[in-house]
Amino acid sequence: MKNLLIFVAMPILIIILAYFLISGIVEPVRFEQVRSFRYGKIVERLKDIRDVEVAYKSRYGKFTGSFDSLIDFYNKGDIKILKQTGSMDDSIAVAQKLVKRDTVIVPVRESIKLRSINSIFADSLRYIPVVGGEFELQAVVKKVSGLNVPLFEARVSNDVILEGLNRQLVVNINHDIEEINKNLSSAQRYSGLKVGSIDQPNNNAGNWE
């Protein structure tokens, strides 16, 4: 009877052990695939936000911390751009004054092509791809070396980006990032994805760059 129980239980035990072994290998791989996919989509949206913010600043001399204002500007606003006819590398054309530069006013929608969404859906600029919810958006004017410098920041934390995934793996990646952050400036330091910084000027860089 004892041998029979061992004979029956052993294959079941082997199957259970094999399941946990495979899960331990597959789960981190799946986690990284999903993380990479979500990061990619969110980075594209953050780049779009940056492009519109930079255009907004060129028009008004400051950034905005309001998605309502940012989206309204994209949908209805206009900006000045420099349009050039001919090439400055063409010495003959330059000598003959055939190279011309004119400032023209164009709608923002025509000057900025969004990467992450179709331009007609610009209202979605505020939303975090894949996981939903809204980005955090802030804008300030800060004294830097005696000058007033407009700054902005758009961000989303890893806890939001990786919602629904293995919690221990999320904790692990946040811990790794915190260790890396110790060697970074405050403008780069963040457990998640962000573009720009309200702490100090960083040329509107993303922390993934």
Task: Name the residue ranges covered by the structural domains of the chain.
Answer: 2-76+114-196
Quick one: what percent of the chain has pLDDT higher than 70?
78
Mean pLDDT value across residues 166-184: 83
**CA 177, CA 50: separation in Å to the nearest integer?**
23
Residue with tokens 């007609």: 120
Please name every residue paired with 85 in a beta bridge, in sequence order, or none if there are none: 100
pLDDT score recorded for residue 95: 59
* Residues listed for the chain: 209
pLDDT score recorded for residue 1: 54
What is the amino acid identity at position 47? K
Query: Does the pTM of the predicted model rise above 0.85?
Result: no
Please check the confidence at residue 18 and state whether its pLDDT lies above 90.
no
The band of 87, judged by pLDDT with boundaries at 50, 70 and 90, is low
Sign of CA dihedral 8, 9, 10, 13: positive
**CA 201, CA 94: separation in Å to the nearest integer?**
37
137, 173, 199: which is closest to 38 by C-alpha? Answer: 173
Looking at per-residue pLDDT, the higher value among 190 and 188 belongs to 190
- pLDDT, tens digit (0-9, with 9 covering 90-100), for 190-207: 889 999 999 999 999 999
Please check the confidence at residue 41 and state whether its pLDDT lies above 80.
yes
Contact between 151 and 196 under an 8 Å Cβ cutoff? The reply is: yes
Query: Over the chain, what is the mean pLDDT?
Result: 84
